[in-house]
Amino acid sequence: MPELPEVETTRRGIEPHVLGRRVEQVIVREPRLRWPVPGDLPQRMAGQVIDAVERRAKYLLLRTAAGSALMHLGMSGSLRVVPAGQAPGKHDHLDIRFADTLTLRFNDPRRFGCCLWLEPGEQHPLLGRLGPEPLSAEFDGAYLYGRARGRKGPVKPFLMDQNIVVGVGNIYAAEALFAAGIHPQRPAGRVSQARYERLAEEVKQVLTFAIGHGGTTLRDFVGGDGKPGYFAQELSVYGREGQPCKRCGKTLKNSRLGQRSTVYCVTCQR
């Protein structure tokens, strides 16, 4: 599933092409996504100017004076900027065409993504209970330590809880925990504030680095420019079960936490 860096890479990729442009037409070829595409979406967006392209967690928001299109890439979705005359492919479910012959095209083979509509000022339930952004000043060690008090569950699922902090998915949680030297199975309530301070900084660093390098290369993900991300070559633990730890040389182990594969080093993480 595209994680926060992939979504932010997409936002940055499409923003220069659509910001300030007027929507000429919206074509919905397949409304049956994770949630049905609103039937009146074409009428609501036609004639509107894209005033902002924003991201909240893993959601993208195309802001206009009449409201906002709320989009999620799901497990396999992508947004690409293509010429208006380019023929759609099998999984090209939605086009937002602009007056200058440019099209923003939503492709989603598995149809787990979405495109919804928000009225001006409306707070959608999908966004209502989300935690702070991991790159914001609000997210730090003191915040994590406070939210972890009394929690007996492992720290990795705690870090991936979208009500705690948004956008830290499986890949980046594993990488940040390794960088901070914290065992993913350690109870969240038994991590000191000092170690949470380091973890918060490592989360920021790994996400910032991944965004700068186009996100992580996943089988289905491509950025807004149609090119795959290439952060995967920098991964320290994720997907490297059975290989030597880059820090100490010991063999990396794998376990399952919250139905997710979790690779870690038994020597460097405690």
Note whether 164 and 191 are same-domain residues: yes
What confidence score (pLDDT) does residue 84 get? Answer: 86
What confidence score (pLDDT) does residue 215 get? Answer: 62
Query: Is residue 110 marked as binding?
Result: yes
Note whether 99 and 146 are same-domain residues: no
Note whether 232 and 121 are same-domain residues: no
Mean pLDDT by 10 residues, the chain (270 residues): 85 93 97 97 98 96 98 92 92 94 94 96 91 97 98 97 95 96 98 98 95 62 55 80 97 92 97
Query: Is residue 11 marked as binding?
Result: no
Q: What is the pTM of this model?
A: 0.87
Residue 135 included in any domain? no
Cα–Cα distance measured from residue 257 to residue 160, given in angstroms and rounded to the nearest whole number: 11
Note whether 150 and 122 are same-domain residues: no
Domain count for the chain, please give it. Answer: 2
Q: Give the type of residue at 168.
A: V
Residue 133 included in any domain? no
Range of the domain at 37: 4-128
- Identify the domain boundary among 94, 128, 162: 128
What confidence score (pLDDT) does residue 230 get? Answer: 46
What confidence score (pLDDT) does residue 220 get? Answer: 44
What confidence score (pLDDT) does residue 219 get? Answer: 44
Residue 94 included in any domain? yes
Note whether 16 and 103 are same-domain residues: yes
What confidence score (pLDDT) does residue 159 get? Answer: 97
Residue 228 included in any domain? yes
What confidence score (pLDDT) does residue 218 get? Answer: 45
The string of DSSP letters for 157-177 reads: HHHH-TTTSSS--HHHHHHHH
Query: Is residue 91 marked as binding?
Result: yes
Q: Provide the annotated active-site residues.
A: 2-3, 58, 260
- Identify the domain boundary among 75, 102, 128: 128
Residue 202 included in any domain? yes
Residue 118 included in any domain? yes
Residue 41 included in any domain? yes
What confidence score (pLDDT) does residue 208 get? Answer: 93
Over residues 146-162, the pLDDT tens digits come to 999 999 999 999 999 99
- Identify the domain boundary among 77, 97, 128: 128
Residue 136 included in any domain? no
What confidence score (pLDDT) does residue 226 get? Answer: 62
Q: What is the CATH number of the domain that holds 98?
A: 3.20.190.10
Note whether 177 and 92 are same-domain residues: no
Note whether 145 and 258 are same-domain residues: yes
